[in-house]
Amino acid sequence: MLLDEIPAWLVWILPLISSLFVPLIAKYSLKARNYFVVAITVITAGLALSLVPGVFFGSGEATGTSIPWIAGINAGVFIDPLSVLFTALVSFFGLIIAIYSLGYMKGEEGLTRYYFLFLLFIGSMIGLVISDNLIQMFIFWEMVGLCSYALISFWYKRPESVKSGVKVFIMTRIGDVALLGAIALLFASLNTFSFREIIAGISTVPIPTLTVIAFLTLGGAIAKSAQLPLHTWLYSAMEAPTSVSALLHAATMVKAGIYLVARFILIIGALAAVLPYWLPTVAWIGVLTAIVGATLAFHTNDIKGVLAYSTISQLGFMMAALGMATDTAATGWFASLFHMMSHAFFEGLGFLLAGGIIHALGTRDMRLMGGLKKAMPITFVLAVIMVITTSGLPPFAAFFSKGLIITSITDAGNLVQIILIYATTAITFAYSLRFLALVFSGKESEHLIKQHPHEAPKVMLYPAMVLAAFCIIWGFGQPLVASFMHVPLETTLLGSFLSLETPIFLALLLPTGLIIYYTYYKNNLAMRVAASKSPLAKVLSHGYFFDDLYYAVARGIAGFSEGLGKLEDVGSLFPQKFALSVVRFANGVHTYFDVLVDQFINVAANRSLKGAGEIQKFDSLLDKFLNLLGNKSLSGAKQIKKTPSTSLQHYVAAAVLGFILIVILIILTLGV
Stretch (H or E) spanning 468 = helix 458-473
- Please say if the pLDDT value at position 574 is more than 70: no
Residue 79 zone, left/alpha/beta (φ > 0; ψ -120 to 50; rest): beta
Q: How many residues does the chain have?
A: 672
Instruction: Look at residue 506 in the predicted model and tell me its pLDDT.
Output: 83
The CA distance from 251 to 46, in Å, is 17
**How are beta strands 66-70 and 73-76 bridged, if at all?**
antiparallel
pLDDT tens-digit map of 450-505: 888 889 999 999 999 999 999 999 999 999 999 999 998 877 788 778 787 788 87
Stretch (H or E) spanning 67 = strand 66-70
What residues pair up with 133 in beta bridges, in sequence order? 194
The CA distance from 279 to 265, in Å, is 10
Share above pLDDT 70 across residues of the chain, in percent, rounded to a whole number = 82
- Please say if the pLDDT value at position 81 is more than 50: yes
8 A C-beta contact, residue 89 and residue 249? no
The CA distance from 109 to 372, in Å, is 29
pLDDT tens-digit map of 352-410: 999 999 988 989 999 888 889 888 999 999 999 999 999 999 999 999 999 999 999 99
- Please say if the pLDDT value at position 599 is more than 60: no
| Predicted structure pTM score | 0.82
The CA distance from 75 to 91, in Å, is 21
The confidence band for 640, taking pLDDT boundaries of 50, 70 and 90, is: very low
pLDDT tens-digit map of 9-24: 999 999 999 999 999 9
8 A C-beta contact, residue 235 and residue 309? yes
Please spell the DSSP secondary structure of 474-508, one letter per residue.
GGGGHHHHHHHHT------HHHHHHSTHHHHHHHH
Nearest by Cα to 405 from 421, 427, 419: 421
Residue type, 169: F
Residue type, 501: E
- Please say if the pLDDT value at position 339 is more than 60: yes
The CA distance from 135 to 133, in Å, is 6
Nearest by Cα to 370 from 308, 293, 449, 295: 449
Label residue 483 exposed, middle or buried (CB < 10 Å: 0-12, 13-18, 19+): middle
pLDDT tens-digit map of 189-231: 999 999 999 999 999 999 999 999 999 999 999 999 999 999 9
Residue that wins the pLDDT comparison between 296 and 573: 296
8 A C-beta contact, residue 66 and residue 76? yes
8 A C-beta contact, residue 320 and residue 290? yes
Cis peptide before 535 (omega within 30 of 0): no
- Please say if the pLDDT value at position 593 is more than 80: no
The confidence band for 133, taking pLDDT boundaries of 50, 70 and 90, is: very high
8 A C-beta contact, residue 223 and residue 289? no
Angle at 332 between CA 57 and CA 244, to 5 degrees: 80
Residue type, 557: I
| Average of per-residue pLDDT across 412-433 | 92
8 A C-beta contact, residue 222 and residue 289? no
pLDDT tens-digit map of 510-551: 788 778 777 776 665 555 555 566 677 778 888 888 888 888
